[in-house]
């Protein structure tokens, strides 16, 4: 995952949340009231656009190059989703050399990009933290809620080419996890019910466990809800906490996720966490719902 665009009525809150809680670098020159954030040498990783409702605007994936993006775009088109090439102006607005975009059968916009703009040695975190684990593993992961789980699973694996990492089964409910690089998962999906579309969280991985604890302290100081206590996941072994963002979408703030390779064999788990991750705020909406 190279970049992400959120839409929310709470852009003003996001400016403080992104920099003061998450430690992202706020870029001031966003056009049209957009808040933009950096988290490493990439010129921009997160856009927060003003809008009426909370939504996922777009998910940017990085392909090796233009040829690979075009080939994947052709595969997506062959599967029935119309593909469009961004104009040079549109690509430049995302800080990439180019991208193709389409809307997947679940209703999410994906951008197949190449040539992300970078400025080495230029990241300044919003508070004194150790920075983010990105590089080859991209910016983190996103967990989407899809209206039809088997259909989305088939599309992300067979059309987009994600590899299955794991499945967590909790009774009749299932969560599917997918990788496309060394990160255990860049994409995960679940389905709270037929027709429901939304997103549960995005995950950003920091370079020090202390930053996870310090972020929890900062949440208390700045009155931001922590929705799950610090815990460790069964599948990617991430030690993390869940912070309630101004757009309901949680931000999993984690450290120490496993790195996987081509020999990884998908596993099945019966629980999401080895320890911790206790629900602290059952009073808050459980996920960002876009359509239901």
Binding site for Fe ion (CB under 5 A): 203, 252
Helix (H) or strand (E) holding 56: strand 55-62
Q: Which residue has the tokens 């670098």?
A: 25
Assess contact for 241 and 263: CB atoms under 8 A.
no
Smallest separation (angstroms) from Fe ion to the CB of 247 = 17
Question: How many CA atoms are closer than 13 Å to the CA of 249, on its beta-carbon side?
Answer: 31
Which lies closer to Fe ion via its Cβ, residue 145 or residue 203?
A: 203
Helix (H) or strand (E) holding 204: strand 197-205
Cβ-Cβ contacts under 8 Å for 95 (sequence gap 6 or more): 3, 42, 43, 44, 116, 117
d(CA 159, CA 172): 26
Helix, strand, coil % in the chain, rounded to nearest 5: 20, 40, 40
- Nearest to Fe ion of 168, 203 (CB atom): 203
Count CB atoms within 10 A of the CB of residue 261: 7
User: What is the rounded CA–CA span in Å between residue 222 and residue 125?
Assistant: 17
Query: What's the closest the beta carbon of residue 267 comes to Fe ion, in angstroms?
Result: 16
User: Is 22 or 95 the residue whose CB approaches Fe ion more closely?
Assistant: 22
Closest CB 203 distance from Fe ion, rounded Å: 4
CA distances from 96 to 52, 117, 150, 177, 230 (A): 27, 5, 32, 27, 35
- List phi, psi (to 5°) of 46: -135, 125
């Amino acid at each position: 995952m190279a970049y992400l665009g959120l839409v929310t009525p709470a852009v003003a809150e996001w400016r403080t949340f992104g920099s003061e809680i998450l430690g992202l670098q706020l870029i001031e020159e966003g056009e049209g009231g957009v808040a933009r954030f950096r988290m490493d040498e990439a010129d921009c990783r997160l856009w927060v656009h003003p809008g009426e409702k909370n939504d996922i605007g777009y998910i940017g994936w990085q392909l090796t190059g233009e040829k690979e993006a075009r080939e994947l775009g052709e595969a997506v088109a062959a599967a029935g989703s119309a593909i469009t090439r961004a104009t040079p102006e549109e690509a430049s607005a995302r800080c990439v050399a180019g991208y193709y975009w389409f809307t997947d059968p679940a209703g999410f916009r994906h951008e197949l990009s190449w040539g992300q703009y970078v400025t080495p040695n230029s990241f300044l975190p919003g508070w004194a933290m150790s920075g983010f684990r990105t590089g080859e593993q991209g910016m983190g992961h996103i967990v989407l809620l899809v209206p039809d789980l088997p259909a989305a699973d088939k599309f992300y694996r067979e059309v987009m080419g994600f590899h299955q990492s794991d499945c967590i089964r909790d009774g009749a409910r299932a969560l599917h996890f997918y990788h496309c690089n060394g990160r255990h998962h860049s994409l995960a999906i679940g389905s709270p019910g037929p027709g429901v579309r939304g997103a549960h969280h995005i995950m950003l991985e920091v370079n020090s466990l202390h930053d996870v604890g310090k972020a929890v302290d900062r949440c208390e100081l700045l009155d931001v809800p922590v929705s799950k206590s610090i815990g460790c996941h069964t599948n990617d072994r991430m030690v993390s906490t869940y912070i309630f963002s101004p757009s309901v979408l949680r931000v999993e703030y984690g450290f120490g996720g496993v790195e996987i390779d081509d020999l990884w064999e998908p596993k099945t788990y019966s629980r999401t966490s080895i320890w911790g991750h206790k629900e602290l705020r059952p009073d808050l909406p459980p996920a960002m719902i876009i359509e239901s």
